[in-house]
Structure 1
Amino acid sequence: MFGDMMGMMNKLKEAQEKVEQTKKRLDTVLIDEQSADGLLKVTITANREVKNISVDEQLLDDKEQLEDYLVFTMNKAIKKATDINEAEIGSAAKDGMPDIPGMDMFK
Structure 2
Amino acid sequence: MFGDMSKMMSQLQDAKKNVEEAKLRLNDILIESNSGNGLINITITASKQVKKIDVNENLLSDKEALEDYLILALNEAITKADKIQEQEMAIAAKKGMDFGL
Q: TM-score, normalised by structure 1?
A: 0.88
Tell me what 2:73 maps to: 73
Whether contact under 8 Å (1:8, 1:98) holds in the other structure is no
Tell me what 2:41 maps to: 41
- Gapped regions of structure 2 (runs ≥ 5): none
Offset from partner CA, 1:26-64 (integer Å, 9 cap, x none): 100000111141110000001111111111101110111
Tell me what 1:92 maps to: 92
For residues 66 and 36 of structure 2, what CA distance do their matches in structure 1 show? 13
Given residue 91 of structure 2, which amino acid in structure 1 is its aligned partner?
S
Whether contact under 8 Å (1:46, 1:82) holds in the other structure is yes
Residue 98 of structure 1 and its aligned partner are, at CA, apart by 4.4
For residues 7 and 65 of structure 2, what CA distance do their matches in structure 1 show? 58
Whether contact under 8 Å (1:12, 1:98) holds in the other structure is no
Q: Does 1:17 align with 2:21?
A: no
Aligned residue for 1:61, secondary structure, equals coil
- Gapped regions of structure 1 (runs ≥ 5): none
Offset from partner CA, 1:46-93 (integer Å, 9 cap, x none): 111111111110111011111100110111111111101111111111
For residues 25 and 65 of structure 2, what CA distance do their matches in structure 1 show? 35
Aligned residue for 2:60, secondary structure, equals helix
Count of matched residue positions in the alignment of Structure 1 and Structure 2: 101
Given residue 60 of structure 1, which amino acid in structure 2 is its aligned partner?
L
Whether contact under 8 Å (2:40, 2:54) holds in the other structure is yes
Whether contact under 8 Å (1:32, 1:77) holds in the other structure is yes
The percent identity for this pair of structures is: 50
CA RMSD of aligned residues (A): 1.5
Q: Where do 4+ consecutive residues of structure 1 move more than 2 Å?
A: none
Change in 2 beyond 3 A, CA 1:98/1:9: farther
